[in-house]
Structure 1
Amino acid sequence: MKYCARCGSEYRDDIEQCSDCPGNPRLVDVGEMRSRGLPLPHELDKRVFVRAGTTDNPLMVEVFVELLQETDIPVLVRAGRSGVVDKLTTGNLLPWWEILVPEEQQERAAALIERERAQEAATTDEAVRAAEDEERETEQSAAPPSTL
Structure 2
Amino acid sequence: MKYCLQCGSEYQDGVKECADCPGSALVDAETMSQRHIPLPGEGDTRKFVRATTAEDPFTAEDYARLLQAEHIPVFVRPRRTGSVDVLTTGSLEPWWEIMVGEEFLERATQLLAREKAELDATSDDAARAAEEEERETEATAPPSNTL
TM-score (norm 1): 0.65
- TM-score in terms of structure 2 length: 0.66
Separation in 2, partners of 1:48, 1:84: 30
- The residue aligned with 1:53 is 52
Give me the whole-angstrom Cα distance separating, in 1, the residues matched to 2:82 and 2:131.
34
1:130 aligned onto 2:132: no
- Give the 3-state SS of the residue equivalent to 1:84 in structure 2: coil
Partner of 1:140: 139
Q: Distance in 1 between matches of 2:85 and 2:53?
A: 17
TM superposition shift of 1:44: 2.2
Q: Deviations over 1:98-118 (max 9, x none)?
A: 111011100111111121111
The share of aligned pairs that are identical, in percent, is 55
Give, in whole Å, the separation in 1 of the partners of 2:99 and 2:46: 11
CA RMSD after TM alignment: 1.6
Measure how far apart 1:38 and its partner are: 4.4
Q: 1:109 and 1:44 mapped to 2: Cα distance?
A: 24
Q: Distance in 1 between matches of 2:55 and 2:133?
A: 29
Unaligned runs of 5+ in 1: 1-36
Q: Which has the larger radius of gyration?
A: 1
Residue aligning to 2:72: 73
Q: 2: CA distance between counterparts of 1:85 and 1:142?
A: 41
Q: What residue identity is the alignment partner of 1:64? A: Y
Alpha-carbon distance change, 93 to 143 in structure 1, aligned in 2, over 3 angstroms: same
- Alignment size in residue pairs: 105
Structure 2 unaligned residues grouped into runs of 5+: 1-38
C-alpha distance 94-137 of structure 1, shift in aligned 2 (>3 A): same
How much has 1:82 moved relative to structure 2?
2.1
SS in 1 for 2:84: helix
